[in-house]
Amino acid sequence: MRIRYFLTCCALCAAFTAVSAQDREVIAGIPVNYDESKTGDYKATLPDPLVMLNGKPVKTAKQWYKKRRPEIVRLFEENQYGKWPAQKPPLRYDIKTDEGMGGTAVRKQVTLYFCEDKSQFVNVLIYLPKDANGPVPLLLNLSFFGNSMASGEEGILPSSSWDSRTKTRVTQQAGGGFGGGFGGGFGGGRGGGMMTSTIQSLLKEGFGFATFQYTDIDPDFLGGATLGVRSLYLKPGAEEPEPDEWGSISAWAWGVSNIIDYFEKDDDIDATRVAITGASRLGKTVMWAGAREPRVAMVLASCSGEGGAAISRRNFGETVAHLTEKTRFPYQFAANYGKYAEDVTKMPVDANMLVALIAPRPLLLQTGTTDNWSDPKGEFYAAVEGGKVYRLLGKDDLGTTEMPAPDTPIYHTLGYFMHEGGHGNMPIDWEIFLEFMKRYL
């Protein structure tokens, strides 16, 4: 089992490395800096989460919640991720309940529909400890893989990816592998079992586990806005949302918010104790979901990097210019984000403020020593700078301004962990996540 898990992780890492463009000097025609002496002085222009747009300081928790927090959320909406629609669809779902994990778990499969004709939906696979005496806290995992890859069990409903060429939804039950290609998500193939040991460890500690494939909600390629959930809200005749409206990261995060709506209806789940996790672009997604949706109780963000928890004003690894270059990932953000490619110091937000929006809720930033493209140090500094809001709200920040050694977790409400290795999740990260959940969820 461990070997299979390891191999699957390796396949995932290999795929990530391919798209992560690690350590190349020029990406999409734009130079990449990996020289610490050339990162610039991010502190000189970093916006302060505790100074309002009118220049007044934020001194109390009340001012933070009433004034400054909503102000920063709006700035991120307008300038980085894009607003999601004000109106939620009515909650519509089907549930299939049986047993899983060799009889130790209640297995629920919830299909959540986002529109009346049921053409837009997400399949959420949930495992809950069978012997629970009440509603349980759980970990919601945003996955690049179909649900059947998580547990490898029989009878798992298919997840979807998209064919970017034919622009069609591809639901795959049989025949494993990474169907659909990265651009559309890693297919919904069967096989796997890559999360089995993690699921079992969570269940043993009294936590539930839920997972969904992100591309059920919205595709992961340019031009996808007419296909996934965003298509439901486009103005007549439009093919793209407005420049301050949702990119696909915001759409995936909106999916999380809708899934929490369902959790609130499920008596077996404690919807006030939902942790969320995702890696890479899904690390960015859980950062934004945690910032935007206050019902998220904990965020475990893996290698979210640029456009996530790494300070954009620090020129190291990927930059806003790389992210928003037309052949790369502009569609994942509000179109307005591209305006800051030339001069990131004009951006009214930065990652320290994203960290601050998650306060006072527990947040763990997980990075990797060789994941230079995602700038692990830039994430650490964002936590150092964002920590002042944790302190204002009476919670512990990192407690240090020095990067911890690799494989040495900081278990504070605002936590940090850098594994020895590259981009994405490694088995050790799941152990750290579980420990963090035991302490703070």
Give residues in contact with ligand GCU (CB under 6 A).
16, 19-21, 280-281, 305-307, 318, 323
Tell me the closest approach of the beta carbon of residue 19 to ligand GCU, in angstroms. 5
Is 423 known to be catalytic?
yes
Q: Which is nearer to ligand GCU, 297 or 309 (CB)?
A: 309
Q: Find the shortest distance in angstroms from Cβ 377 to ligand GCU.
A: 16
Element (H, E) at 154: none
22 vs 18: CA distance, rounded Å: 8
3-class DSSP assignment, residue 129: strand
| Residue at 346: amino acid letter | K
The nearer residue to ligand GCU, 15 or 132, going by C-beta atoms, is 15
Write the CA distances from 133 to 109, 270, 434, integer angstroms: 21, 12, 21
Whole-angstrom distance, CA of residue 313 vs CA of residue 346: 10
Which member of 322, 412, 419, 423 is catalytic? 423
Which residue among the candidates 148, 151, 280, 374 is catalytic per the annotation?
Answer: 280
Nearer to ligand GCU, 16 or 390 (CB): 16
> To 10 degrees, the CA torsion angle through 69, 71, 74, 75?
-110
**Cβ at position 63, least distance to ligand GCU in Å:** 34
Q: CA 292 from chain center: how many Å?
A: 12
Shortest separation between residue 302's beta carbon and ligand GCU, angstroms? 10
Q: Which is nearer to ligand GCU, 269 or 287 (CB)?
A: 287
CA dihedral defined by 43, 47, 48, 53, rounded to 10 degrees? 150
Contact 222, 208 (CB under 8 A): no
Are 132 and 147 in contact, with CB atoms under 8 Å apart? no
For the chain, counts of helices (H) and of strands (E): 12, 13
**Type and span of the H or E element at 257:** helix 248-265
Q: How far is the CB of 50 from ligand GCU (least distance, A)?
A: 28
Token reading at 259: 């899934």
Q: Select 54 or 327, whichever has its Cβ closest to ligand GCU.
A: 327
State the amino acid at position 120 in one-letter form.
Q
Least distance in angstroms from the C-beta of 282 to ligand GCU: 7
Assigned token pair, 354: 């994203």
Minimal distance, residue 281 CB to ligand GCU, in Å: 3
What the block records as the tokens of 224 is 């996808």
- Tokens 């049989």 sit at which residue? 174
CA separation for the pair 363, 380 (Å, rounded): 12
Q: Which amino acid is at 63?
A: Q
Cβ atoms of 119 and 92 closer than 8 Å: no
Give whichever of 19 and 393 is closer to ligand GCU, judged by the CB atom: 19
347: three-class secondary structure by DSSP: coil
CB closer to ligand GCU out of 21 and 75: 21
Catalytic residues: 280, 423
